[in-house]
A and B are shown apart, each in its own frame.
Chain A
Amino acid sequence: MTNTSTRNKVLWAVATILVLVYALFPVASILATSFKSPSDLTSGKFLPSSGTATTSNYEQILVGDAQGLFLSALRNSIGISLIATFIAVVLATLCAYAIARLDFPGKKLILTTALAVSIFPVISIVTPLFNLWRTIGLYDTWLGLIIPYLSLTLPISIWTLAAFFRQIPWELEQAAQVDGATTWQAFRKAIVPLALPGVFTTAIIAFFIAWNDFVYGISLTSTEAARPVPAALAFFTGASQFESPTGAISAAAIIVTIPVVLLVLLFQRQIVSGLTSGAVKG
C-alpha cells in the first residue's frame, strides 16, 4: 500500500515537473537571454556567464536610446488593445444577453457569423484594409487598428459570453420581482452579480487576443504613431547596426510578458472555464 502510493507520488512529481518545464522553459530561456551582456550573447550557454549578468538591456529600452521606440509601442499596444477589448465586450454582452435570454429569429445566424469571422484568415482582411485605410486616412492610426481588432475580439467574446449567460438561472430575476423589487432592481441585484465574472473573463481573453495580434500590427502601421509591441519587436533593429538587438528584444519581450503572466496567475480558474465553456459545451 505505502509502496504504491510512494511510487504514485514520485510519478506525479515527475509528471508535474515535466509539465512545468514544458510550459515555462522558453520563457526562462528568453529571460536568461535578456540579462546577457552583448559579449556574453554568443557564449552558447543558457544562463549569463557568472559575473556578467546585466540589466543594461532593460535600461536601453526603458530609459536608454531605444526608449522612445519601445515605450511608444507599449503605449499603443495597451491603448489599442484596451479600447478594442472594451468595445467588443460591451457589444458582445448585449448580443449574448439577447441570444441567451430572448427569443428572436436569426440567433443561429449571429452565432454562425461569429464562428465564420473567427476562422477567417486575417491576411485576407488585411490586404483590402491596407488599401482602404490609406485612401481614407486610417492607415497608421489607433482607430485603424481598433476596427480590425474587433474581427478578432468580437466573435470569441460573443461565443464565450453566450455560453456563460446560458448558465445563469434567469428565474432569479423573477423571484426577486416577486419579492417586491422593480425590474431594474431585480436585474441589477440578481443577474448582474452572476454575469459579471463571465464578462470579466471574456474581457481578459479578448485582451490576450488583441495583445497577441501581429499581422494587423505590421501591415496597417508604419511609424511609432500606432505600431503595437509585437510589430515593433519584429522591426526593432538595435541601437546601431553594429550591435545585435538580441538582448534588447529579449528584455522587451519579458516586459510585455509580465502583465500576461500576472493576469494568468490571478485569474487562471476563470480563464480556463471561459475558454472551455466558449468552445465546447454540449
Chain B
Amino acid sequence: MTSAIPAKTTTASPAEPGPRLDTGRGNGTKSGRARKQYSDRTRAERRLGWILAGPAFVIMLLVTLYPILQAIYESLFRFRLTAPDERAFVGIENYIVILSDPVWWSGLWTTVFITVVTVLVELVLGFALALVMHKALKSVRGLLRTAILVPYGIITVVSAFAWFYAFDINSGYVNSWFAWLPGIDENLNWFAQGPTALFVIMASEIWKTTPFISLLLLAGLAQVPDELSEAAKVDGATWWEQMRKVIVPNMKAAIMVAVLFRALDAFRIFDNVFIMTNGAYGTEVLSLLAYRQSISRLEIGLGSAVSVLLFLCVLLICFVAIKLFKVDLAGTQGGK
C-alpha cells in the first residue's frame, strides 16, 4: 500500500519494502547511473505532486490566509463604511477600545461558558450513544446509525428554529408539558432572560453536534482490541473498571481529537444564537459581536479587530490543546 512508485519505471528498480524514504537528497550507496535515474524520477514525481496538489493548496491560502491578513491590516484603521473619507490609521487603538469594553469580555465569557458546557455534555452523551451503537444488536445497528446521522445532516438554522418554536412562549409546547416542574409555567419566556435562553441555545447545539462526536468515539471504540476488555472481564473487572482502565485509555486519541474539534467548533457558535436571541440578554457570543460590528454597523476597523482577536483565541485553544494534551493532530488524523 505504501509503494507509490510510478508504474512505468518499476522495471528500472525493484519495489522497496516497507515505507518509502525520502531519497530525493542523494543516495550514496547507489551507483552513479542508478542515482541519476532515481533523482530524475524523484524530481518528476515531486513536480507531479505539486501540480496535482498545488491548486487546492493555493485556493486554501487564498480563501483564508488572504482574508486574515486583510483583517489584520484593516484592524489598524479607524474605518466606517458609511464615512469612508474619515478612514485613518490608528494603530492598535481599535484593540484597546475592544479590550477595555465590557461587551467584549461578557461575549468572551459567554462563548467560553457555552464551549465548556456543550463539549462536556456532548462528550458524556456522545460516549453513551457510541456505546449503544457499538454494542447494539446487528438488527438495529443500521437504524441507530441512520437516526443519529439525522441531526448531523440538518441545517443548524433549522435545528435552531425547531428548538426555538418548541420553547417559544407563543408557539411552544414545552411550557405546558413541563408546567409541573418548579420554575416552569405557562408564562415563562425562555428567551427573555440570559440563563434560560442560554439553556435552549446550548441544548440545540448539543443536539445538533453530538452525533459527530459520537461517531468519532464509535470509531475510537472500534479500534480498542476486544481481547483487552475480554481479558479484563476474565480477571474479574466490573463494567465500570473495564471502561475506566481499559476502554477509555485506549481511545484517548479519538477522545482528544473529538474534544478539540468540538471545542473549536463550539467557540465559533453563531447560527442558533442569531436565530434565538440575536445576542440579547447576555447571550452575545464573539462571532455575533464581530458580525454586528462589521456587517450590521459597518465598522470595518473595529469588526476586523474583533475578528482578529477571535482568530487569536482559536489559535490559543489549539496551542493549549497540543501542549497540554499532547495531541498530535497530524498524526492522529492519519497525516504522514
Chain A residues with CB under 8 Å of chain B are 12, 15-16, 19-20, 22-24, 26-27, 29-30, 33, 36, 41-42, 44-46, 91-92, 94-95, 97-117, 119-132, 134, 147-148, 150-151, 154-155, 158-159, 162-163, 166-171, 173-174, 177, 183, 186, 208, 211-212, 214-215, 218-219, 229-230, 233-234, 244, 246, 249-250, 253, 256-257, 260-261, 263-265, 268-269, 271-272, 275-282
- With A110-B56, A119-B318: A233-B157 Cβ-Cβ less than 8 Å: yes
Q: Which of B135-169 contact A (CB under 8 A)?
A: 136-137, 140, 142-159, 161-163, 165-166, 168
B55, A94: Cβ atoms under 8 Å? yes
Chain B residues with CB under 8 Å of chain A are 1, 3-4, 7-8, 10, 20, 22, 24, 42, 45-50, 52-53, 55-57, 59-61, 63-64, 66-68, 70-71, 74, 81, 129, 132-133, 136-137, 140, 142-159, 161-163, 165-166, 168, 170-173, 175-177, 186, 204, 207, 211-212, 215-216, 218-220, 223, 253-254, 257-258, 261, 264, 267-268, 270-271, 274-275, 286-287, 290-291, 294-295, 300, 303-304, 306-308, 310-311, 314, 318, 329-330, 332-336
Residues in B neighbouring A103, C-beta threshold 8 A: 4, 20, 22, 24, 42, 45-46, 49
A24, B56: Cβ atoms under 8 Å? no
Cα–Cα distance between A159 and B295 once the two chains are bound (Å):
32
Residues in B neighbouring A127, C-beta threshold 8 A: 67, 71, 74, 290, 294-295, 300, 303-304, 306-307
Q: List 12 extra interface pairs beyond A121-B287, A183-B7, CB under 8 A.
A: A19-B148, A44-B175, A99-B53, A107-B336, A108-B330, A112-B335, A119-B314, A121-B314, A171-B3, A212-B156, A214-B274, A230-B271
A19, B147: Cβ atoms under 8 Å? yes
User: 11 A-B pairs, CB-CB below 8 angstroms?
Assistant: A106-B49, A113-B61, A120-B68, A124-B67, A127-B304, A129-B67, A150-B59, A174-B10, A214-B157, A215-B270, A278-B333
What residue of chain B has the Cβ atom nearest to residue A204's Cβ? B153
What residue of chain B has the Cβ atom nearest to residue A116's Cβ? B64
Cα–Cα distance between A275 and B218 once the two chains are bound (Å):
11
Cα–Cα distance between A174 and B9 once the two chains are bound (Å):
11
Cα–Cα distance between A182 and B179 once the two chains are bound (Å):
73
What residue of chain A has the Cβ atom nearest to residue B50's Cβ? A104
B335, A154: Cβ atoms under 8 Å? no
Residues in A neighbouring B219, C-beta threshold 8 A: 276-277, 279-280
- With A26-B163, A125-B68, A129-B67: A282-B49 Cβ-Cβ less than 8 Å: no
Q: Which of the listed residues A123, A147, A272 has the most CB atoms from chain B within 10 Å of its own CB? A: A123
Residues in A neighbouring B186, C-beta threshold 8 A: 44
Of the candidates B64, B177, B271, which one forms a contact with A214 in the assembled complex, judged by CB atoms under 8 Å apart? B271
A219, B295: Cβ atoms under 8 Å? yes
Of the candidates A19, A44, A110, A120, which one forms a contact with B53 in the assembled complex, judged by CB atoms under 8 Å apart? A110
B154, A257: Cβ atoms under 8 Å? yes
- With A44-B172, A280-B220: A173-B7 Cβ-Cβ less than 8 Å: yes
B50, A106: Cβ atoms under 8 Å? yes
B310, A27: Cβ atoms under 8 Å? no
A183, B8: Cβ atoms under 8 Å? yes
- With A103-B42, A121-B267, A264-B149: A154-B56 Cβ-Cβ less than 8 Å: yes
Q: Which of the listed residues B70, B144, B147 has the most CB atoms from chain A within 10 Å of its own CB? A: B147
What residue of chain B has the Cβ atom nearest to residue A77's Cβ? B155
B56, A95: Cβ atoms under 8 Å? yes
Residues in B neighbouring A125, C-beta threshold 8 A: 63-64, 67-68
Cα–Cα distance between A173 and B7 once the two chains are bound (Å):
8
Cα–Cα distance between A30 and B167 once the two chains are bound (Å):
12
A280, B170: Cβ atoms under 8 Å? no
Residues in B neighbouring A265, C-beta threshold 8 A: 146
Residues in B neighbouring A177, C-beta threshold 8 A: 7
- With A23-B211, A113-B60: A124-B290 Cβ-Cβ less than 8 Å: yes
A120, B304: Cβ atoms under 8 Å? no
B268, A121: Cβ atoms under 8 Å? yes
Cα–Cα distance between A117 and B61 once the two chains are bound (Å):
8
B53, A26: Cβ atoms under 8 Å? no
Cα–Cα distance between A109 and B168 once the two chains are bound (Å):
48
A120, B215: Cβ atoms under 8 Å? no
Residues in B neighbouring A119, C-beta threshold 8 A: 261, 264, 314, 318
Of the candidates A16, A27, A126, A269, which one forms a contact with B154 in the assembled complex, judged by CB atoms under 8 Å apart? A27
Residues in B neighbouring A121, C-beta threshold 8 A: 267-268, 287, 307, 310-311, 314
A102 to chain B, nearest CB (A): 4
Residues in B neighbouring A246, C-beta threshold 8 A: 165, 168, 170-171
A272, B310: Cβ atoms under 8 Å? no
What residue of chain A has the Cβ atom nearest to residue B45's Cβ? A102
What residue of chain A has the Cβ atom nearest to residue B23's Cβ? A103
Cα–Cα distance between A254 and B235 once the two chains are bound (Å):
52
Cα–Cα distance between A97 and B142 once the two chains are bound (Å):
31
Residues in B neighbouring A211, C-beta threshold 8 A: 155
